[in-house]
Structure 1
Amino acid sequence: MKKSLTLVLASALLLGSAQAQNVTLTVAAFPSLDSAIKAILPAWNKLHPNVTIKLQAQEYADHHNAMTTALATGQGLPDVMAIEIGFVSKFAEGQGLENLDNAPYNAGQYKKLFTPFTIGQATSSDKRFIAMPTDIGPGTFFYRKDVLDKAGVNPLTLQTSWESFIEGGKKIKAKTGAYLINTAASINNVIIRTNLKPGEGIYFDSKNNLLVGPDNARFVRAFTLSKQVRDAGLDAKIGEWSNEWYDAFKKGTVATQFSGAWLQGALQNWMAPDTKGLWRVQNLPEKGFASWGGSFYAIPSKAVNKQWAWEFIKFMTLEQSSQITAFKDNGAFPALLAAQKDKAFSEAVPFLGGQQARVLWRDAAAKTQPIDVNKYDSVAEQIVQTELTNVLEQGKDIKQALSDARAQIARRAR
């Protein structure tokens, strides 16, 4: 009891000290999360006038590379580190981030407030909770209505099955000259992430068994359909986050795109703002539901201002007003369940031709199942993508490619 009282008094003194002096809190982020942070700054400054947010924003890859180096060396660490879902499992398996389940954070009490699948995403294999979710990416099928209208293709037929998606793509290409998709690899990325069974991750199951291989129907089908798209000349062979990708959005030379709901904000704000009213969305083919992106906030173990870092993270993730501000600013879909009930969700989205897309995204998020993460997910993803490229560009046999992928992953994860 005496020890507990001493800790309480010490915490109170620290808080009083922090409030009495000016503090600079360093937050490292990437687009479009940096835009969301800027949008909430007026509210933060009003609440905490003595705590100045110093935002360090870099492009997605540069940010995560910098954070990887900072965690490895202990140098150049921010107080708050934004992490995109693609890097969460990798960062979680290191020991450089605070376990938010522990005191003084005690984040366990907040977990039930978030979309369920985000909690598993931020939990390491040894059950450390290393980051708070701020936004999620319900998997979404974007399509150019003007292109499909010109081709005489009903968007619902593209959603019915992957086979009908490909057949519709052939008609679109013949009638309009537009490609069906930016890259055939996108088909693989959807199929391997959707309709997973409980206890099944993308590449490993909950018991660390490797799932990739020539006998796994999910991967065989994903590779097979991707190859059919490439062989039919339906993909533009354009990588994401490239200038060619942005141009395709602007010019309508690619008819569809699979992504997270957040893409709407990116298209509207900076990728292709002049295409307002031309886009629509629907759920993924074959009633698939998947998490497609998402952002988290973590505290490095060697951060200088951990207490204020936690206050900032709670402000960004637990405050409904902050979540809605970010949502309206750039389409960052709230991870906080209470924010998803805001009246903004029933509003029409002008960029999507007045479609009530947010209701669709909310329903998709509710149907998305948690996926177990594994510390070797990033390794497996890189190897699978390389072997898929060998299939698409060099004509490698699919079963052989998946067999080789399995062997390489097993060797790296041994």
Structure 2
Amino acid sequence: MTRRRALLGAGLAAALPVRAGARAVLTVAAFPLVDEIARAATPAWQRLHPEVELRVLSRQYSDHHTAMTTALSTAVALPDVMALESSFVGRFAQGGGLEDLRQPPYEVERFRARLVPYAYEQAVARNGAVVAMPADIGPGTLLYRQDILSRAALAEDDLTRSWEHYVAAGARIKARTGAYLIAHVQEIKDILIRSGLRPGEGLYFDTDSRVLVNSPRFERAFEVAREARRQGLDARVPAWSNDWAEGFKRGRLATELSGAWLAGQLNSFIAPGTRGLWRAAPLPEGASAAYGGAFYAMPRHAAPARKALAWDFIRLMTLDPQLQLQAFKAYDAFPALLATHEDAFFSEPLPFLGGQPARRLWREAARRISAAPVHKQNQFAEEVVQTELDKVLNRAKPIRQALADAEQLLERRARR
């Protein structure tokens, strides 16, 4: 569920010691497009600290997070500030390598009411530590091709009323237009397992590490995904592949379940030729889900002499309304700062979406999302569940057996 373009970045380097008389340097490790957003903030940083150079170090998305994992575990080559995608915040929080921003002099809890609630809560570790500050978020949305729906004699409500209606609409779309409903049914599963969470429930584990996958929530997710596959409604192409991009360009994909940021990326570089043909809608059944988002964190063992500077940079990037709106307008980075949400920009029409003022829709979606507790085995659980779904889709494995097997494997792993 990442929202970052696959751009080439510079190699990550350790911050060099400052020589006598040399200008101080604050290093920020980031990934596309967060690196560009950070660099764009250089003038604001220079006004705040003209004596300190801002050096943004960039790697590709996966390479960046691998490098940060290594840096935190070895306390070597640590930047002063590291950007993290939301899915990594919870994993890193469990390791204890990030500064607890609740503690003096940071006292981050005083800013909690100024941020989108679920985004702030995503950075709260199981022990209560707050390990990062949210900069931008990815409220989930359904994007659909209005022209394809018209050819199939369908309306938006046919897609959003329920998941069963969504699948039925997909069958009609395929029969009348030849287009697929969606790129891959995994996207349906990913939304449905995030719907209907009760207090104390994470995606795969509850707060007491009980495994939750053998449940009606997962059973329904698998059933809807299987039915869509049975009817041949997905193109069976993974997100961010060449076939995925071509599907958008050539009108072979009628809908996409993703973060609001995807509309901007479709417009800017994935399928700009489809401008005006798309619309945004709520997820089916009013489901709420978050797709990505960027956070800033401070390594606990980073240079103590620059901790105050690092905190100034984090506050600048997350609490300055002007910079938050600048990132939104230039990079589709939907702001986590609530003070920006009443800006007139949210009501402006989006030409790519046929003039629809969709940012207001996404703003409401962001307010409904609830943060799920993050478990240290979430990444492993995601792989296990996806493997079992593949067995259901490709080998006709019974759903209940697949979920029971996933539960058994995860229970053994959780006891370690």
Q: TM-score, normalised by structure 2?
A: 0.91
3-state secondary structure, aligned to 1:68? helix
Instruction: State the match for 1:252 in structure 2.
Output: 251
RMSD: 1.8
Residues 329-386 of structure 1: CA deviation (Å, up to 9, x unaligned)? 1211111111112121111112211111011111111122232222222221121111
Aligned residue pair count:
395
Moved over 4 A (4+): none
Q: Does residue 1:352 correspond to 2:353, yes or no?
A: yes
CA distance in structure 1 between the aligned counterparts of 2:33 and 2:267, rounded to whole angstroms:
12
CA distance in structure 2 between the aligned counterparts of 1:173 and 1:50, rounded to whole angstroms:
61
Q: Does residue 1:60 correspond to 2:61, yes or no?
A: yes
Unaligned runs of 5+ in 2: 1-17
3-state secondary structure, aligned to 1:399? helix
CA distance in structure 2 between the aligned counterparts of 1:185 and 1:77, rounded to whole angstroms:
36
Instruction: State the match for 2:165 in structure 1.
Output: 164
Cα shift at 1:21: 6.4
Instruction: State the match for 2:331 in structure 1.
Output: 330
CA distance in structure 2 between the aligned counterparts of 1:172 and 1:380, rounded to whole angstroms:
34
CA distance in structure 2 between the aligned counterparts of 1:354 and 1:48, rounded to whole angstroms:
41
Instruction: State the match for 1:183 in structure 2.
Output: 184
1:309 alignment partner AA: A
CA distance in structure 1 between the aligned counterparts of 2:39 and 2:148, rounded to whole angstroms:
36
3-state secondary structure, aligned to 1:31? coil
When structure 1 is superposed on structure 2, of 34-43 and 283-292 the one drifting more is 34-43
Q: TM-score, normalised by structure 1?
A: 0.91
Listed as ranges, the matches of 1:100-115 within 5 Å are 100-115=101-116
Q: Does residue 1:233 correspond to 2:210, yes or no?
A: no
Listed as ranges, the matches of 1:370-385 within 5 Å are 370-385=371-386
Unaligned runs of 5+ in 1: 1-16
CA distance in structure 1 between the aligned counterparts of 2:399 and 2:233, rounded to whole angstroms:
19
Cα shift at 1:42: 2.9
CA distance in structure 2 between the aligned counterparts of 1:198 and 1:358, rounded to whole angstroms:
28
Instruction: State the match for 1:317 in structure 2.
Output: 318
CA distance in structure 2 between the aligned counterparts of 1:150 and 1:32, rounded to whole angstroms:
36
Q: Residues 272, 51 of structure 1: CA spacing in aligned structure 2 closer, same or farther, 3 A cutoff?
A: farther
Instruction: State the match for 2:140 in structure 1.
Output: 139
Q: Does residue 1:285 correspond to 2:284, yes or no?
A: yes
Instruction: State the match for 1:406 in structure 2.
Output: 407
Listed as ranges, the matches of 1:90-101 within 5 Å are 90-101=91-102
Instruction: State the match for 1:367 in structure 2.
Output: 368
Cα shift at 1:54: 1.8
CA distance in structure 1 between the aligned counterparts of 2:159 and 2:192, rounded to whole angstroms:
15
CA distance in structure 2 between the aligned counterparts of 1:105 and 1:87, rounded to whole angstroms:
22
1:65 alignment partner AA: T
Cα shift at 1:106: 1.4
Contact 1:39 1:329 in 2 (8 A): no
Identity, % of aligned positions: 48
When structure 1 is superposed on structure 2, of 227-236 and 240-249 the one drifting more is 240-249
CA distance in structure 1 between the aligned counterparts of 2:194 and 2:34, rounded to whole angstroms:
24
Q: Residues 52, 244 of structure 1: CA spacing in aligned structure 2 closer, same or farther, 3 A cutoff?
A: farther
Residues 93-134 of structure 1: CA deviation (Å, up to 9, x unaligned)? 002111111122111111111111112210111111100011
Instruction: State the match for 2:31 in structure 1.
Output: 30
Listed as ranges, the matches of 1:4-23 within 5 Å are 22-23=23-24
Instruction: State the match for 1:339 in structure 2.
Output: 340
Contact 1:40 1:326 in 2 (8 A): no
CA distance in structure 1 between the aligned counterparts of 2:64 and 2:86, rounded to whole angstroms:
13
